[in-house]
């Protein structure tokens, strides 16, 4: 027979009921405290504060580095706001590899909106939105070879819909600080810092506040937490080489050369720029030498890379092909990863462009470019104490010789 509860004891149902009530009470308390804390944390950190960040950057040097999963949603909104505020003579568009072109190397105002596009339709959409805000005089475009493959984008002539509104507090971002804490991306001290330490006034966003990474006043990206890190467990370009060996992602084969529709889509972008009186400058993003060498072993599978310059030339488009190992003098130690070049490599491309296009000399500070190339070869970053007082390390584990204090 089941036990009969005696006086002073609770039945199993009563215990279950109490546990449920207590759990609901704790959950309600967590929500009551957690939501306001998240709102306050994100507000103080400035993750969504595009206008505040641009205003601070107008006054002096400040970084805008939204946190993980928020950065992608804020990049276009921030870039367009910066573009409209600065009204630059030079606009940088294209892949994330172009993110290291900085104002310091231009003699006219420049804004970097690289990283807002990952395909030809997205590039066209970003260009349309940028020109609706302001028309520059020079448009520098970095393209990736896989953009011209049907395996990457089967409909290059489609119209991409990109939102420039950015994220809002109700768009799932209120849970982000808690997720970042649980994922180990921020420390408990950083998580609790608004309670007693506050946030830096010249930093906006979790990455800027906690890592020192972010977009500078010209929109270029400063990844200094990467550059001062210890060598990774897999040195060099192991991640990209693994994808290449598996032939996945950006390394999916494309026999038969660049897609005809893809070339047409880029020609439309190019001549839209040229037709509005602007100077288009186009380059094919550099590849680290181990990647480029491996691709060259199978030219038929990657004919959209090796045939791209000829295909664009047939449309009257001049392309600076920086994909080959050592092109423009770029060294492996000047990469951020196998597919993204650093600041010094960007200077090498500017020097190449200025040598081939004399009209660009009115926009490029060649003295600053030459000084950087003489003083910082083999580096991905030129030390800037406004960003971080530290020095770049051999963060790729390639045995690169770096400057030390």
pLDDT > 90? residue 203:
yes
How many domains in the chain?
Answer: 1
The residue with greater pLDDT, 2 or 346, is: 346
* Residue-level pLDDT at 150: 94
Say if residue 233's pLDDT is above 80: no
Range of the domain at 145: 50-375
Flag whether 358 is in a domain: yes
Question: Do residues 367 and 378 touch, judged by C-beta distance below 8 A?
Answer: no
On whether the CB atoms of residues 143 and 285 are closer than 8 A, the answer is yes
Q: What is the pLDDT of residue 16?
A: 67
Q: What is the pTM of this model?
A: 0.89
Q: How far is Cα 352 from Cα 138, in angstroms, rounded to an integer?
A: 16
Mean pLDDT score across all residues of the chain: 89
Kindly state whether residue 279 falls inside one of the protein's structural domains.
Answer: yes
Confidence of residue 172 (pLDDT cuts 50, 70, 90): confident
Report yes or no on 33 lying in a domain: no
Mean pLDDT of 282-288: 96
Tokens for 187, please give them: 């420390």
Q: What proportion of the chain, given as a percentage, has pLDDT over 70?
A: 90
pLDDT tens string 44-92: 889 999 999 999 999 999 999 999 989 988 999 999 999 999 999 999 9
CA distances from 393 to 228, 230, 372, 390 (A): 5, 7, 18, 9
The pLDDT score that the predictor gives to residue 37 is 83
Q: How far apart are the C-alpha atoms of 263 and 217, rounded to whole Å?
A: 34
pLDDT score for 8: 53
**Quick check: is 60 in a domain?**
yes
Q: Minimum mean pLDDT among 114-123, 234-243, 264-273, 361-370: which range? A: 234-243
**pLDDT of the residue at 30:** 46
pLDDT of residue 389 exceeding 70: yes
pLDDT, position 374: 96
Tell me the pLDDT band of 13, cut-offs 50, 70 and 90. Answer: low
Asked whether the beta carbons of 320 and 356 are under 8 A apart, the reply is: yes
Q: How far apart are CA 219 and CA 222, in angstroms?
A: 9
Residue 139 clears pLDDT 90, i.e. is over it: yes
Does some domain include residue 76? Answer: yes
Give every CB contact of residue 111 below 8 A, 6+ residues apart in sequence.
Answer: 79, 82, 83, 86, 88, 90, 91, 92, 136, 218, 219
Banded pLDDT at 28 (limits 50, 70, 90): very low
Beta-strand pair 214-215/221-222 = antiparallel
The CATH number that applies at residue 169 is 3.40.50.1110
pLDDT at position 327: 82
**pLDDT tens digits, residue range 82-113?**
999 999 999 999 988 999 999 999 999 999 99
Q: Report pLDDT for 3.
A: 53
Q: Is residue 126's pLDDT more than 80?
A: yes
Query: Which pair of tokens denotes residue 297?
Result: 């072993």
**How sure is the predictor about 26, in pLDDT bands with cuts at 50, 70 and 90?**
very low
Q: What percent of the chain has pLDDT over 90?
A: 69
Assigned domain for 5 exists? no
User: What would the pLDDT profile of 324-368 be if each residue is shown by its tens digit?
Assistant: 877 899 999 999 999 999 999 999 999 999 999 999 999 999 999
User: Per the domain annotation, does 396 fall within a domain?
Assistant: no
Q: Which of 71-75, 168-172, 305-309, 381-385 has the lowest mean pLDDT?
A: 168-172
């Amino acid at each position: 027979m089941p036990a009969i509860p005696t006086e002073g004891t609770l039945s199993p149902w009563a215990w279950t009921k109490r546990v449920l009530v207590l759990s609901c009470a704790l959950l309600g308390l967590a929500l009551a405290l957690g939501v306001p804390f998240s709102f306050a944390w994100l507000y103080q950190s400035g993750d969504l504060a595009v206008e505040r960040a641009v205003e601070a950057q107008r006054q002096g040097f400040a970084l805008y580095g939204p946190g993980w999963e928020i950065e992608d949603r804020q990049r276009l909104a921030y870039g367009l706001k910066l573009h409209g505020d600065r009204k630059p003579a030079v606009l940088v568009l294209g892949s994330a590899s172009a993110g290291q072109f900085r104002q310091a190397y231009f003699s006219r105002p420049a804004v970097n909106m690289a990283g807002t596009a990952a395909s030809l339709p997205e590039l066209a959409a970003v260009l349309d939105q940028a020109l609706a805000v302001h028309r520059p005089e020079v448009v520098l475009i970095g393209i990736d070879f896989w953009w011209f493959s049907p395996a990457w984008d089967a409909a290059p002539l489609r119209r991409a819909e990109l939102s420039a509104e950015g994220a809002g507090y109700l768009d799932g971002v209120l849970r982000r600080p808690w997720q970042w804490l649980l994922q180990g991306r921020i420390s408990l001290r950083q998580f609790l810092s608004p309670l007693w330490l506050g946030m830096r006034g010249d930093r906006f966003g979790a990455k800027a506040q906690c890592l020192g990474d972010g977009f500078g006043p010209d929109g270029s990206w400063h990844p200094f937490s990467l550059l001062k890190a210890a060598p990774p467990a897999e040195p060099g370009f192991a991640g990209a080489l693994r994808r290449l060996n598996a032939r996945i992602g950006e390394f999916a084969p494309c026999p038969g050369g660049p897609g005809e529709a893809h070339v047409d889509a880029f020609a439309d972008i190019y001549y839209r720029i040229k037709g509005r009186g602007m100077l288009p400058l186009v380059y094919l993003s550099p590849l680290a030498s181990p990647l480029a060498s491996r691709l060259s072993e199978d030219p038929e599978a990657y004919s959209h890379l090796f045939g791209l310059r000829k295909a664009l030339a047939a449309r009257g488009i001049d392309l600076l092909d920086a994909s080959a190992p050592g092109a423009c003098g770029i060294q492996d130690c000047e990469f951020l990863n196998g597919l993204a070049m650093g600041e010094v490599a960007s200077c090498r491309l500017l020097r190449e462009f200025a040598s081939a296009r004399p009209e660009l000399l009115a926009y490029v500070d060649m003295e600053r470019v030459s000084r950087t190339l003489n003083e910082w070869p083999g580096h991905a970053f030129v030390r800037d104490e406004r960003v971080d007082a530290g020095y770049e390390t051999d963060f790729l584990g390639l045995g690169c010789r770096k400057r030390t204090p």
